[in-house]
Amino acid sequence: MEPTRNNVWKMFNDISPTYDRINRILSFGFDKGWRKKVAKHLPEKDQIKVLDLACGTADQIICLMENSHQIDEIYGVDPAKKMLEIGKDKMKDKFYKGQVKFVHGTAEKIPFEDNTFDVVTISFGIRNVEFLKEGFKEIRRVLKPGGRLLVLEFSLPDRPLIKKGHLFYLRKVLPIIGGLLSQKKDSYEYLNKTIETFPYGERFLNLLKENGFKNSTAHPHFLGAVSIYVAQS
């Protein structure tokens, strides 16, 4: 059954103190590598202005800034204020801190003018958007004509045996470990359910097309457990 995304920001505020540490543990440290791969899909031009939606604790922003010299400015937007505060703290000793700004907001109501950004990124956040159609509409609105959307999200492997093992991990292992470390087992049961029920692969590419994006491609990684989607406004 599809889990509700209503007020999901409250859940992320609750798990914010342990969020980064649990991410490293549950992904066996691979999550940083996946985020770095997003930088390889930035457009080949300089002075890029980027919006990172559902930026959380700024891990994706850090990976983009430390693996690309093309970015002039990057804005992080998230509805969970406690996650944003952690992201701000991480920036204090970064040499590029002057290029990064954080804004409280949601994907369904992005607090920027039309045609503002060259690139919009959203990592492990698109499946948490409550009103996805409105979110896509807003992303297209703030992207410049021909701008690029980069989505990093969990997916499911195609190979039956690998998929079976992956589902066992999501259903049985992830909620227990996440629950023990955060004392918020319900939150990690929610995350598992959103991963299983959210469209991926061709279904997500079709979703992008239906919402006005062009030239969409999917790039699976980690045996298909995560995917990077690249699309044009």
pLDDT at 103: 98
Distance separating alpha carbons of residues 230 and 9, to the nearest angstrom: 26
Total domain count, the chain: 1
Task: Average pLDDT across each block of 10 residues of the chain; the chain has 233 residues. List them in order.
Answer: 75 91 91 96 96 98 96 98 98 97 98 98 96 97 98 95 93 91 88 91 98 98 96 97
CATH of the domain at 92: 3.40.50.150
119: β partners: 50, 148
Question: What pLDDT is attached to residue 216?
Answer: 98
Residue at 3 is within a domain: no
- Measured distance CA(144)–CA(135) in Å, rounded: 16
Q: Is residue 220 part of a domain?
A: yes
- At residue 48, the pLDDT reads 98
The answer to whether residue 136 is domain-embedded is: yes
Query: What is the rounded CA–CA span in Å between residue 143 and residue 146?
Result: 8
Q: Where are the alpha helices (DSSP H) in 16-131?
A: 19-26, 31-39, 59-66, 81-91
Q: What is the DSSP secondary-structure string of 138-206? A: HHHHHEEEEEEEEEEEE---SSHHHHHHHHHIIIIIHHHHHHHHHS-HHHHHHHHHHHHHS--THHHHH
Say which DSSP state 3 is in. Answer: P
- Cα–Cα distance for residue pair 80/92, rounded to 1 Å: 19
Domain extent at residue 117: 8-232
